[in-house]
Chain A
Amino acid sequence: MGIDLQVALKNKAINQWRLFWLISIPMSIIMVIAMMGVDMSTGPGVSTMIQLSVRWAVPFIFLVVAASSVQTLFPGPFPMWWLRNRKYIGMCFAVAMAWQGLFIFMMSNFFREYYFADVYLLRDELEGSIGYIFLPAMVVTSFHFGRKHLNPKQWKVLHKSGIYFLWAYPFSVYWWNLFYYENPEPIDYVYYWSGFLAFTLRIAAWGKERQQAAKRNAPESRTPLAFKVLGGTIIAFGLFVSASGLHWREPVTAFLTAPKWSANLELWLPFWPFEPYLSLFVIGLGAMLVTKARA
């Protein structure tokens, strides 16, 4: 007897707040157990917990980023369930980030010397703090009492910027782990490619919607073959760029930070000069060409 997926995915146990509790309670229990296993009276012990909480948080933000794209590209019961529960998946991300916030608070207040000597970097702190400003603003405005203070445009701006920023930070961390630091761990590969896939799905969904809109406005419009070939080539190049950072990262960074103003920006402007995102920019450019319709 087969299980009807559509019916199964409507089960209350795996929807809305029950889904949230189903994920966040075991996650919190694991966090407490892990805390008992490390020496929380030392900086390195707390640092281990920061890393663990990040690893719990990251998959949820990637799932949130990909939710609407998957439904656009592959409509069906599972993508619909995913999209319907996006808010609650986002709340699970917030819980994991709250744990991380607690450990960062402990680190910066009780292990100041270790923090400033071994962990602190201004740009990292800026990127992290910005994420932590977005997060509570997004959580509060996910509920009616917070949302009523914003108009729909403001809500959209806040949540879109927040989601992209909260995706961009871990994505860049794992990119640097793979293409800058020596000996990346297997999980670094998993998280980098998951973050890459989440954003690539967004680009693909944007392209599909753009094509559909062009068809609606001018049914006879078509994408010229030259655009398709050129766009496809650019997308292939973007994919190559995404996997080959080890070969181009050093000269590209040197080139992009050669002017003094650019080298200065690197010290305080989040993500500058955007090396981790270059491949996605190239893929986006290719998608724009592939979906460019001409009457």
Chain B
Amino acid sequence: MTFKQHHALKVALAFTPWLISMYTLYWLEYGEIWTSETAHRGKISVAILAVGMGLSFLVHSRFAKREQK
């Protein structure tokens, strides 16, 4: 695997939790798992996204740390 391919793979892996969090919200909405009446919907949405973004940030940091070694 070339350096560029390796880098692209790492970027894709780092983005995965964030993408999953957004897809989860899409699935909840279009799968009609929740409706406009669902309690605390807004807070749960933000929490799901924040977890996804936070995990992506941590994965990226981990890769960056390994590159430095």
Contact count band on B: 10 to 19
Which A residues are in CB contact (< 8 Å) with B64? 153-154, 157
In the complex, the answer to whether A130 meets B25 with C-beta atoms within 8 Å is no
SS class of chain B's interface: helix, strand, loop or mixed? helix
Interface size on A, residues (CB 8 A): 22
- Report the minimal beta-carbon distance from B21 to chain A, rounded to whole angstroms: 9
| B27 (CB) vs chain A CBs: closest residue | A268
In the complex, the answer to whether B36 meets A116 with C-beta atoms within 8 Å is yes
A236 to B57, CA, bound (A): 37
A130 to B48, CA, bound (A): 11
| A264 (CB) vs chain B CBs: closest residue | B26
In the complex, the answer to whether B46 meets A126 with C-beta atoms within 8 Å is no
Determine if A39 is an interface residue (Cβ-Cβ < 8 Å).
no
Which B residues are in CB contact (< 8 Å) with A125? 45
Determine if A256 is an interface residue (Cβ-Cβ < 8 Å).
no
In the complex, the answer to whether B46 meets A132 with C-beta atoms within 8 Å is yes
In the complex, the answer to whether A133 meets B53 with C-beta atoms within 8 Å is yes
Determine if B12 is an interface residue (Cβ-Cβ < 8 Å).
no
What are 6 A-B interface contacts by the 8 Å CB criterion? A112-B36, A113-B36, A126-B49, A157-B60, A268-B22, A268-B25
- Given A129-B45, A268-B26; 14 other pairs, CB 8 A cutoff: A108-B42, A122-B26, A122-B29, A126-B49, A129-B46, A133-B46, A151-B61, A154-B57, A154-B64, A157-B57, A157-B61, A157-B64, A267-B30, A268-B22
